[in-house]
Chain A
Amino acid sequence: MPVITVRNLTKEYRMGEHIVRALRGVSLEIEHGEFVAVTGPSGSGKSTFMHIAGCLDRPTSGEYVLDGKDVSKTPKDELARVRSEKIGFVFQGFNLLTRTTALDNVELPLLYRAKNGFKSAERHKRAMASLEAVGLGQRFHHMPNQLSGGQQQRVAIARALVNEPSMILADEPTGNLDTRTSIEVMGIFQKLNKERGITILLITHEMDIAEYGTRLIRFRDGRIVADQAVLHRRNAADELAALPPPEPDQIPPPAEAGAAAH
């Protein structure tokens, strides 16, 4: 059964007197374990698609089945529950809570679990495991401002992982990062995808970042114009190993970074 099944999805906005047709009939399926990169120029509808796929918004018409459940007409509060249980978000701006430790940031989605809430000790354990999965186990007590951009994004990935979602939705996750940290972050996505079989939906406008995925979907004017397997897939771990070591004046990557990339 596919994680995502979308049929004839449309979305219209009213902007003043105009009606903006952001999606004009999108149909696709995403299977478990796929690493899908969605690209397209701004205004192509890829962001709108991501919002609907992430259950942050509802389509004007069409059908969206997430993990076997039709969520296209689910009410708002119910959508919050779907997000809590099935989707992990990673944003361009990290969106970590300030003055809150990495561990507490990662724990946050566990606090909002509608059912099967965990006791404090269990939450800690899960959050720690999640941080270790992104190679930040040693830095659980650090505040976001004590972490580099790449590390902050890895905390955000740990946060997305902690509820064991059906899919991780990454919206321009490398938009605020330099080349090296971008590769590091993509390495973590590739590792999670490969080792844990986590479905990843990556939204990006950078073609080279999209090539870390297994499948490439290109949006234009609210429609899918291309949907193909990535021919020459990039491997973040190999690229990172080939890169010269970081310059001394840079914030040194944590000791676990190498372990995470392998």
Chain B
Amino acid sequence: MSLFMTFRIAFKALARNKLRTALTMLGMIIGVAAVIAMVALGSGAQATVEAQIMSTGTNLITVMPGNFTAGAARGGGGSNTRLVEADAAALRELPSIAMVTEVVSTRQQLIYGNMNWQTGIEGVNVDNPAIRSWQVLYGGFFTPEDVRSAAKVIVLGANVSDNLFGEGVDPTDTIIRVRNHVFKVLGVMQRKGASGGGMTNQDDQAFVPYTTVMKKLSGQQNLNRILASARSADDIAGTKANVESTLRQMHAIVPGDADDFTVQTQEDQVALRTQTTQTMTSLLAGVAFVSLVVGGIGIMNIMLVSVTERTREIGLRLAIGARGSDVLFQFLIEACVISLVGGAIGIGVGYLVSWLVEVYQQWPTMIPPDAVFTAVAFSAVVGIFFGFYPARKAAGLDPIEALRFE
């Protein structure tokens, strides 16, 4: 008998018990939909993190004091205070580096009239907007002269401006107080949204010359970070190596000793951050996978019940000329149809769920094509694997015994 006929027979048999077929399929549908939705959420989160980090600047290279790749006992990035202005100056001399800015962070209360707002203040250099591809919305940024003279000028993030002056107000040239100093507002940055970490809002900060932070606000002599922009995107790794060797020289680190600083490219940051989301994704997908296996066991269970219940039918089929292999294929195809059709519907439901989550929960989702392919392949494998044992049981029945079965 042709395989096509076997397909017809299997379809007819499934159609004879629609409710049972549908319920068995439900197990597969839920399993596959869960996997698709979980992978979609994970991939979406990952893509967002990646896009956010990439949007923080052009060919951005970040230098932090301390070394958080060497040894668990170390305090991690930022714990070591050995990053100074001279380091930034040395990097500025590198031919592969286009721009550099020093970064000194502090947290201060900003006061305007009867309004006040506590926010992070970043002391930076004039190239900060260019390095972070982040331009001013109102007014302008400070000048090299402001940096040299540690001028009391400030550029506000959009959120800070909103909170002090109200939304849509251009506060340029307004005088505000920071701690006990009087600062002149030079401008407001464009909105940028959440940073790569996803935790902080980049619009909730203000920029002043780094020299001003050092001399007038916090008094610290060390830099919290150095941000540099490579001249070309082609050799970021080479530039990173240049930066590292320059800094080792500046810090007089002998060969064999570990760095006391950390250099990260945007790719490094993406890798670091996506590791977390990937772990989460595989965890969720793992749980979803379990439900897929449970769905598969559901198929086997129903097929086994079905074989027992349909013993007389199998006996009859054998009596009127079906070979064992015909019966085997019939049951195998029945199991595969349940799992494949269930898988297909599951993919649809998975898409629907991720779409709903995206629309109502505002979580970005992304369904990688290979996840869909894997789901289809897996449901086929589930069908064959869990269908084989019941099918073989059916095919091995003795027609005489089967016909007598009550």
- A residues contacting B by CB (< 8 A) are 51, 54, 56-57, 76-77, 80-81, 83-85, 88-89, 91, 93, 95, 97-100, 104, 108-109, 111-114, 117, 159, 163
A89 touches B319 (CB 8 A): yes
A84 touches B12 (CB 8 A): no
Bound form: Cα–Cα A114–B319 in Å: 14
Bound form: Cα–Cα A147–B202 in Å: 78
Q: Which residues of A contact B12 (CB under 8 A)?
A: 100, 104
Q: Which residues of A contact B9 (CB under 8 A)?
A: 111
Q: Which residues of B contact A77 (CB under 8 A)?
A: 323-325
Tell me the nearest residue of chain A to B316, going by C-beta. Answer: A95
- Selected from B312, B317, B400, the residue in CB contact (under 8 A) with A108 is B317
**Known contacts A81-B321, A85-B321; is A111 also within 8 Å of B5 by CB?**
yes
Most buried by A among B312, B323, B326: B323
Q: Which residues of B contact A104 (CB under 8 A)?
A: 12
Q: Is B254 an interface residue (CB 8 A)?
A: no
- List 17 contacting pairs A-B, 8 Å CB cutoff, sorted by A: A54-B319, A56-B400, A76-B323, A77-B324, A80-B323, A80-B326, A83-B320, A85-B321, A89-B316, A95-B316, A97-B313, A98-B16, A99-B16, A100-B12, A112-B317, A112-B320, A113-B1
Q: Which residues of B contact A95 (CB under 8 A)?
A: 312-313, 315-316, 403
* B316: min CB distance to chain A, Å: 4
Contact code string B379-406 (vs A, CB < 8 Å = 1, else 0): 0000000000000000000011001000
Q: Which residues of B contact A81 (CB under 8 A)?
A: 321, 323
Bound form: Cα–Cα A83–B403 in Å: 15
Bound form: Cα–Cα A27–B132 in Å: 101
Q: Which residues of A contact B320 (CB under 8 A)?
A: 83-84, 88-89, 108-109, 112, 159
Q: Which residues of B contact A88 (CB under 8 A)?
A: 320
Q: Which residues of B contact A114 (CB under 8 A)?
A: 1, 321
Bound form: Cα–Cα A114–B325 in Å: 12
Tell me the nearest residue of chain B to A104, going by C-beta. Answer: B12
**Contact residues of B between 185 and 201, Cβ < 8 Å to A:** none
Bound form: Cα–Cα A54–B325 in Å: 20
Bound form: Cα–Cα A100–B317 in Å: 14
Q: Is B114 an interface residue (CB 8 A)?
A: no
